[in-house]
Amino acid sequence: MTENIKLLEISLNYKGNGIKLFVDEDTANILLNDPVQAENYLERLFNSNESENQNENKESLNPVQAENYLERLFNSNESENQNENKESLNMLWSSKGKPSIKDTEATDFFLMLRQKYASQFDDKKTCKNKIWQRIATEMEENNFKLGKNGAEKCRQKFQNLLKLYLKQFQIFLNYT
């Protein structure tokens, strides 16, 4: 059974060359948001392509062969990395660069939860790790995937936000 898959055109840089690919939306998100995955994907694509071309007396692939090749490559990569790719796509705060809309929504929700538990964080007798675990659990329950060590990820995210806030506040004070 074939399924209609919407292909997106994306541009990537590979060894100084601009490469245009047509890939499904999930693969596009992975390739555009994770440079390591993109490099590995292109390495496999071009290394496999070179070996196939050597086996075919260095003939170039016609469009049908190229489409079949990409489908085989995608299906083999999908079967071996399916869970890893889906997890990395859905993980919050895991990519460098501009945050995704989901990351921004998660940060807003996270800050709301942090404020909700502020009085418990101020209490010297309360174990902070348990509060971070509650926050991580609530985020997971609201479909914000944190993955392993969600409580530690929340704690670190708050520390990073606090550092960024203090840095921006200091810049503001220096300009006034």
Establish if 95 belongs to a structural domain.
no
Long-range contacts of 73-81 (CB under 8 A, 24+ apart): 73/44, 73/45, 73/48, 74/23, 74/24, 74/27, 77/41, 77/44
Q: State the CATH number of the domain containing residue 138.
A: 1.10.10
**pTM beyond cutoff 0.85:** no
Number of domains the chain contains: 2
Establish if 81 belongs to a structural domain.
yes
pLDDT digits (tens, 9 = 90+) for 65-85: 555 555 665 565 544 444 544
SS3 of 122-158: the string is HCCCCCHHHHHHHHHHHHHHCCCECCCCHHHHHHHHH
Establish if 46 belongs to a structural domain.
yes
- More confident site: 111 or 45: 111
- More confident site: 19 or 3: 19
pLDDT digits (tens, 9 = 90+) for 16-64: 777 777 777 777 778 788 777 777 777 777 665 444 444 444 444 445 5
Domain of 82 in residue numbering reads as: 7-90
Establish if 31 belongs to a structural domain.
yes
